[in-house]
Amino acid sequence: VKGQEILCIEDIKERADANLPEIAREFYNSGSTYQTTIAENSSSFNKYRLLSRVLVDVSRLTTQTECLGRTVKFPLGVSPAGLQAMAHPDGELATSRACARMGVNMAVSSFANYTVQQIVSAGQTQAETDGVGPGGPHYAMQLYMMRDRALQERIMAAAEGAGCKAIFLTADSPVLGVRFNEWRNDFRTPDGLGFPVLGWTSEMIRRATHDTSFMSFNDDTHSWARDVAWLRSRTKMEIWIKGVLAAEDVELAIEYGCDGVLVSNHGGRQLDGVPSTLDALVECVDAAKGRIPVHMDGGVRRGSDIFVALALGARHVWVGRPAIWGLGYKGQEGVEKTLEVLYEDFRRCMALCGCRTVADIKRSCLRRMGIDGV
Ligand code: FNR
């Protein structure tokens, strides 16, 4: 129908917003306190202009790249975001199947509403059905350091057993950021949904707020010196640190032997007022000096945003809310639509900038507003 097409992530968000109750919508869409960082995550992309190039043969352009030991269709994956079954009953299973169809990787939240085995096998089954080759997506398991180390070990063993390739250790959350909506709406996990990764049934969390649930297991004594070595001694999965913004923390990640860092401010849900991830990316890439890969997430809403992040040195980019909006719009099909919109836009952006491979996407493809003469 004319006027009904979905052309961009904003179109998908609008439909998801219309489908979801206000409490769920605010839980997903909000950042912490004054919403400064969440807004800047997206607006920072406007600091850059794309330098299109002419007369480059792009007929054999490829968007493929490597992520977590696998060739992916393009440099985008789905970030670990909890409580996806509140957006659609199939939740993380639908996200996983969509990732399989679209040839990208997925990170599984500790607050997923399905087990890691269920999530991974949903993607693998989809990949087999589609005949896209064995295995399907590669998965990362998102973890926090937990006071109950025996439970943390069981979660890691389950993730490794399910075939996850990496741990994304979310390191930015010794305490949770304050999201006003959760307090004002007295947000509770909807009845019937549990957190099976953590072993929590719906009954166990019925009366708890998100904040009290989190504080009940999270270990705020976490540290580089103790915990990276501990993780390394207990798993063969790669160890990535999620939530890095400072060059000094990139140095520490390298010093402690981490496999990579994910520049992230938790989608603006932790400390409000930190730099946007795109701004932080530049100093983190400079600090890494190519010694470990630097990924980023936060505010990516267009294919050209992926391009800008790569031009500034990110090896790969992840999205949180756009996948959730896809779920809220239309389950698996909606997440596929999200990934497709971003893929098509990214591919077109590469072609118009004269980049034939992802490796061609360099700092010289950009001009910085107000600085480089634009
Ligand atoms: C998140 N994020 C997150 N991160 C994490 O490490 N563990 C988690 O359980 C969650 N849960 C979560 C829930 C919801 C509803 C959102 C929106 C986000 C943060 C997530 O991994 C990612 O860093 C951001 O979502 C990226 O920003 P965008 O793409 O949402 O702007």
Q: Model ipTM? A: 0.99
Residue with the nearest Cα to atom 12 of ligand 1?
A: 81
pLDDT attached to residue 288: 98
pLDDT attached to residue 2: 66
If you measure from the C-alpha of residue 374 to the centroid of ligand 1, how many angstroms do you get, rounded to a whole number? 33
- Mean pLDDT over 306-314 rounds to 98
Q: 1 pLDDT exceeds 60?
A: no
252-to-68, 94, 276, 277, 356 alpha-carbon distances in Å: 21, 36, 21, 18, 35
pLDDT attached to residue 207: 78
Ligand 1 pocket at CB < 6 A:
28, 41, 79-82, 109-111, 142, 170, 242, 264, 266-267, 269, 297-300, 319-321
Determine whether the annotation assigns residue 297 to a binding site. Answer: yes
Determine whether the annotation assigns residue 298 to a binding site. Answer: yes
Q: Which phi and psi angles does 38 have, rounded to 5°?
A: -60, -40
If you measure from the C-alpha of residue 320 to the centroid of ligand 1, how many angstroms do you get, rounded to a whole number? 5
In tens, the pLDDT along 141-196 reads 999 999 999 999 999 999 999 999 999 999 999 999 999 999 999 999 999 999 99
pLDDT attached to residue 208: 81
Q: Which atom of ligand 1 has the smallest separation from the CA of 297? A: 26
pTM: 0.97
pLDDT attached to residue 200: 93
pLDDT attached to residue 131: 85
Average pLDDT along the chain = 96
Residue with the nearest Cα to atom 1 of ligand 1?
A: 81
- Mean pLDDT over 215-227 rounds to 93
Determine whether the annotation assigns residue 320 to a binding site. Answer: yes
Burial of 181 (0-12, 13-18, 19+ CB in 10 A): middle
State the alpha helices, DSSP H only, in the chain: 9-19, 22-29, 36-43, 91-102, 116-130, 149-162, 180-184, 202-205, 210-217, 224-234, 247-255, 277-288, 303-311, 321-352
In tens, the pLDDT along 105-144 reads 999 999 999 999 999 999 999 999 998 765 699 999 999 9
pLDDT attached to residue 255: 98
- Mean pLDDT over 82-88 rounds to 98
Q: 282 pLDDT exceeds 90?
A: yes
pLDDT attached to residue 3: 65
Q: 4 pLDDT exceeds 80?
A: no
If you measure from the C-alpha of residue 79 to the centroid of ligand 1, how many angstroms do you get, rounded to a whole number? 6
Query: 266 an active-site residue?
Result: yes
Residue with the nearest Cα to atom 19 of ligand 1?
A: 266
If you measure from the C-alpha of residue 175 to the centroid of ligand 1, how many angstroms do you get, rounded to a whole number? 15
216 or 239, which is more confident?
Answer: 239
pLDDT attached to residue 263: 98
pLDDT attached to residue 374: 86
Query: How much of the chain exceeds pLDDT 70, in percent?
Result: 98
pLDDT attached to residue 134: 58
